[in-house]
Structures are given as structure tokens and as C-alpha cells.
Amino acid sequence: MLRGRIIGTGSTTPKRILTNKDLEAIVDTTDEWITRRTGIKERRISSKTRAEDTSEMATAASKRALEMAGVAPEALDLIVIGTVTPDRQFPSAACMVQKNLGARCAVAFDVSAGCSGFLYALSIANNAIATNNCRNALVVGAERLSGIADWQDRSTCVLLGDGAGAVVLTPGDGNEGILSTHLGSDGSLWELLYASDRIGGPIELPEILDTVEGRPFCLKMEGNKLFKKAVCCLADVAVAAMEHDGLSCDDIMLMVPHQANLRIIRATAERLSIPMEKVYTNLDKYGNTSSASIPIALDEANRKGMLKEGGYVLLVTFGAGLTWGASIVKWSL
Ligand code: COA
């Protein structure tokens, strides 16, 4: 049986760091509150004067992943990007990346699945490989959430950050690579997290944020209800994935969860009986980067040498839609 094998990872985040202390000057909040309730200490914010738009970050992350994979852009036949913040309504961020890379043989499109975008994209690319419709696929998660943050809403703007991560997939021999992907959605709960029209028109930014380029809509969230739903969905879909592949929690080498809130990650790990030493977190540095969070974390863990050949990696996510998903990867890089 064919399955996708990850042969390269890459990521990038904007240069500009916005700390919790910086946020104290923007909204009525404290470093202590943000750290205690979320685990976030700082986040990266893209600049309109640097090449840090969603497609530009996606391109930079992709170049690193392709370099590690040793795959030329012309050899790609599929580019799928999970994003809710493409540069434009259309064309897709994936088509912009195709152009930037010179990947002229690829089919390119975006997937909108909130913070689950990367795992949805991974599932599509893996299915294309499994059905022999694709040889080399580029799967990306890229977001510029700073442009859709409501910088007057302390309950949401403190959570968000920008960045991109990418992986290159190629067919594996059957025993290694992406063992399975499991996705779920519940549109009846869309109002817990959505993009709303900005009341009062374009964003008015304090001086400290003058490099942020705002959009005509902004993120609205019912954090408390979402929190409880997230923990249940993450744990349930992770269990479904492990059961499907005949694995127990003890078999997992590393869990790489979506980086929304450290308390959500801890509660999920506890439900799964996976010790925090086996859970990768970096949200203290980047906050919640939506679709980008898993591939950024995966790339960091990979480059730190934390992923050993033959070990099982559990990817698990939850986001707007509502959407959720999990995947088990038998690491082979
Ligand atoms: N600084 C200081 N106080 C803040 C604050 C901030 N940045 N944001 C909210 N508060 C206040 C609230 O106004 C509220 O005050 P009140 O009790 O006087 O009304 C109090 O803190 C508690 O708010 P609450 O929303 O109950 O806090 P919480 O413990 O649920 O934490 C979140 C809020 C958003 C951090 C948390 O709910 C969360 O992470 N939810 C899930 C988010 C998520 O996963 N989103 C994306 C899915 S991919």
C-alpha cells in the first residue's frame, strides 16, 4: 500500500517579536495573566514592509522543506496550503507559492479548515499519494493572523501570531510515513470562532503595531466554550487515530498538538496519559498561529533531532468550523 512519507520539513516566522509586556501598552492585560491562562510569552508579527505576507512566509518555509527533501520545485505535482489568511480572496496562497517556487508542474490550491488546515491539507495530499495520483507533494500551513486580530479585544488579540511551516511528501514503501489521518467537523458550532465584519471600518492601530496590515474583518471567539470542546475533540480524535493504527499512548514518541493554549494541551495530554515530556510545545514563543502551528512545531522538533526513525508521531488539532483532526506518522527521515 502506498502512503505519504515526510522527507523534508521547513518553517519561518516573522522577525518582529511582540511580547506580553508590549501588549500591556495596547490592551488592558498583564504578562502574568497571559502567561498563567495561556502559556504564551511572545508572538511574531508580520510586517507589511518586509516579505512576510502569508504567501511569502509559505514560500520561505517551503524552500527550507524542499531543500531538506532534496526535491526540486519542478518535481512537485501538488501544493496544498491550509490557511484562513491568504494574501487575497483569490488566487489561492498555493498558486502564489507555486509561482514563487517555479513549481510549474504542480496543481495548487488552499484548504480552509481553521486551525485544522494543515492536517486537512496533509490528509488530501496523503490520499493523492495513496491513490497514485501524485509523487511529490508540498503541504503547508501558513497564517498572518495579526491582520485579522481585533487589537482592542484583549481576550483574543493576546493569543495570536504569524508564521508558516511546510512538509514535503513522497510515496513510502507501506510500513512508514503517514499511517492514517482522521478528520472531523461540526458546522453547527461555527459561531464559537469566526471572522466578523470590522464594525467601524478599517483597523486603527496604536503606534507599536504600525507595521500590521489589517483586513476588513476580524476574529471573534467564545474562548471558554471553545476551550472545553477543544479538549474533548482533541482527546477523542487522538484516541481514534491510535486505535486505528493499533497503538497505545506508550507507543507515541512525540505528540505535536496545535498550539492554542498550554492549558488545553496539558488537559489533552492528561486525558491521553501522555507525559508532557513527550509533548512538543512552542506556543510560549509564537502564540497560536492557526494552520501554521503544527508544521512549525514539527520542523523545530525535527531540526532539534527529537524525531527518531521508526518512532510514532501523533499530530492533533482543533479549530474554527468547528474542525478537528489527528494523524499518526511513523517517522522515516
Ligand atoms: N488580560 C486580562 N484579563 C483578561 C484577558 C486578558 N488578555 N482576557 C480576558 N480577560 C478576563 C475576562 O474579561 C474575564 O474577566 P471577568 O471575570 O471580570 O469577566 C476573565 O479574564 C476570565 O475570562 P475567561 O474568558 O473566562 O478566561 P479563560 O480562563 O477562559 O481564558 C482564553 C481565556 C481565551 C485564554 C481561553 O478560554 C482559551 O484559550 N480558550 C480556547 C481558545 C482557543 O483554543 N482558540 C482557538 C481554537 S484553535
Largest CA distance in the chain: 56
Report whether 234 contacts 200 (CB < 8 A).
no
Residue 319 binned pLDDT confidence (cut-offs 50, 70, 90): very high
- Dump pLDDT digits (tens) for 67-92: 999 999 999 999 999 999 999 999 99
End-to-end CA gap in the chain? 19
* Binding site membership of 158 for ligand 1 (Cβ less than 6 Å): yes
| pLDDT score recorded for residue 227 | 95
Domains of the chain plus CATH, in order, are 1-333 (3.40.47.10)
Q: Would you state the pLDDT for residue 205?
A: 83
Tell me what pLDDT residue 127 has. 97
For the ranges 173-177, 235-239, 276-280, the lowest mean pLDDT is seen at 173-177
Q: How far is it, in rounded angstroms, from Cα 7 to Cα 240? A: 25
In this prediction, residue 235 carries a pLDDT of 97
Structure confidence by residue, pLDDT tens digits, 98-152: 999 999 999 999 999 999 999 999 999 999 999 999 999 999 999 999 999 999 9
In angstroms, what is the span from residue 33 Cα to ligand 1's centroid?
A: 9
Mean pLDDT of 219-241: 96
The C-alpha atoms of residue 41 and residue 173 are separated, in whole angstroms, by: 42
- Can you give the pLDDT at residue 1? 80
Q: Which pLDDT belongs to residue 216?
A: 87
The predicted pLDDT at position 51 comes to 87
242 with 249: CB under 8 angstroms? yes
| Nearest 10 degrees: Cα torsion 218, 224, 229, 232 | 130
Q: Which residues contact 236 (CB under 8 A, 6 or more apart)?
A: none
Determine the average pLDDT of the residues in 17-27. Answer: 97
Q: Is 190 in the pocket of ligand 1 (CB under 6 A)?
A: no
Catalytic residue from among 218, 258, 261, 302: 258
- pLDDT at res. 49: 86
Q: What is the pTM of this model?
A: 0.97
* Alpha-carbon Rg for the chain in angstroms: 18
Residue 240: what residue type? A
Q: Is 115 in the pocket of ligand 1 (CB under 6 A)?
A: yes
Distance 284 CA to ligand 1 centre (A): 16
Tell me which residue has cell 498550539.
259
255 is written with which cell numbers? Answer: 505528540
pLDDT at residue 202 in the model: 72
Return the ligand 1 atom nearest residue 23 CA: 7
According to DSSP, the residues that pair with 80 across neighbouring strands are 109, 139
Catalytic annotation on 258?
Answer: yes
Please state, in angstroms and rounded to a whole number, the distance separating the CA atoms of residues 147 and 194: 14
The mean of the pLDDT values for the chain is: 96
Least confident piece of the model among 12-21, 86-95, 138-147, 165-174:
165-174
